[in-house]
Amino acid sequence: MATWSNFNLQNSASPLMEQIIFFHDHTLVILIMITILVSYLMLNLFTYNYINRFLLEGQMIELIWTIIPTITLIFIALPSLRLLYLLDELNNPLITLKSIGHQWYWSYEYSDFNNIEFDSYMINYEKENMSNFRLLDVDNRIILPMNNQIRILITATDVIHSWTIPSLGIKIDANPGRLNQGNLFINRPGIFFGQCSEICGANHSFMPIVIGSINLKNFINWINNYS
């Protein structure tokens, strides 16, 4: 998770987030190269005074400064389109999790199992102990198996919310009257934190999301104990 001294992206816990980080680094390198080139040209304007009153046009230089940006945009667009299609791809999910946004808490339903649904409220700061994360921990965590494809369905009952887990590279709007779909693939065990990322009212900052990732055997035991 992100801490007060971390200015980078969170460490990835899914293949999708790894691809997002790779694309971020790829784009950042191109932007740095463009910034250096433009800065160099601007500094040259202060030190040189080229004047040619007979110069009317320069077709070659115009051709160059048209083709180079086009090639640069292609190098950005192709990985971006590939990533967009990867984010929407969903093949043979093991389980389906339904998340419903309310003012101001989340409720969850495990659609493949009977009678497994619960509300998830942020733990009151006065009731927290030193092992909890302030404003991030909840009373009922989502438990999901790692190394398995998981489908998540998102909706809301009142206003627009946004279900977001940065380390998993997922951010899906929860719209009233509409069911949005996403996919999760968690590749390591752990606890992953997120928050509502759409301003939804007075307590918008107080509806966190917590996912606990465990192996499949422990997940089956959790399902049996919960039932």
Q: Which residues make Cβ contacts (< 8 Å) with residue 197, sequence separation at least 6?
A: 162, 164, 171
How many percent of the chain have pLDDT more than 90? 38
| Cα-only R_g, the chain | 24
Among candidate residues 156, 148, 149, 138, the one with its CA nearest the CA of residue 98: 156
Mean pLDDT of the chain: 87
Indicate the residue type of 109.
Answer: E
For residues 120-128, average pLDDT: 77
Which amino acid appears at position 13 of this protein?
A: A
- What's the rounded Cα separation, in Å, for the pair 89 and 114? 27
Q: Are strands 95-102 and 105-110 parallel, antiparallel or unpaired?
A: antiparallel
The predicted structure's pLDDT at residue 77 = 93
- Alpha-carbon distance of 144 to 97, in angstroms, equals 9
Residues 107 and 193 in one domain: yes
Rounded average pLDDT over 214-225: 88
Say yes or no to pLDDT of 39 above 90. yes
Q: Given this model, what pLDDT does residue 100 score?
A: 93
Q: Quote the pLDDT of residue 133.
A: 75
- Domain's final residue, options 60, 88, 116: 88
Q: Is the pLDDT of residue 42 over 80?
A: yes
Average pLDDT over residues 133-151: 87
**103 and 48 assigned to the same domain:** no
Q: Where are the beta strands (DSSP E) in 62-179?
A: 95-102, 105-110, 117-120, 142-145, 149-156, 161-165, 170-174
Q: Are residues 73 and 117 in the same domain?
A: no
The verdict on 79 and 110 lying in the same domain is no
Strand order in the sheet with 208-214: 142-145, 208-214, 190-196, 161-165, 170-174
Q: Which tokens sit at 136? A: 């991030």
**Confidence class of residue 7 from pLDDT cuts 50, 70 and 90?**
confident
43 lies in the same domain as 103: no
The pLDDT, as a whole number, for residue 65 is 85
For residues 74 and 105, membership in a common domain is answered with no
Q: Tell me: do 77 and 136 sit in the same domain.
A: no
Is position 168 within any domain?
Answer: yes
Same domain? For 48 and 101 the reply is: no
**Whether residues 27 and 68 fall in one domain:** yes
- Name the residue with tokens 């399902």: 223
pLDDT tens readout for residues 148-192: 899 999 999 989 999 999 888 889 999 998 999 988 899 989 899
In-domain check, residue 5: no
Domain total in the chain? 2
pLDDT at site 1: 60
Residues 108 and 80 in one domain: no
**209 falls within a domain:** yes
What's the CA gap between 139 and 120, in Å, rounded?
6
Mean pLDDT of 121-137: 74
- Clarify whether residues 80 and 148 are in a common domain: no
**Residue-level pLDDT at 156:** 93
What are the tens digits of pLDDT across the range 62-105?
888 899 999 999 999 999 998 888 888 788 888 899 999 998 89
In this predicted structure, the answer to whether residue 49 has a pLDDT above a threshold of 80 is no
User: What domain range is 20 assigned to?
Assistant: 15-88
CA distance 192 to 167: 7
User: Which of 69, 88, 107 is the endpoint of a domain?
Assistant: 88
For 147, phi and psi rounded to 5 degrees?
A: 60, 35
Task: Report residue 129's pLDDT band, with 50, 70 and 90 as the boundaries.
Answer: low
The domain that holds 117 is classified in CATH as 2.60.40.420
Q: Residue 41's pLDDT is what?
A: 86
Residue 197 lies in a domain: yes
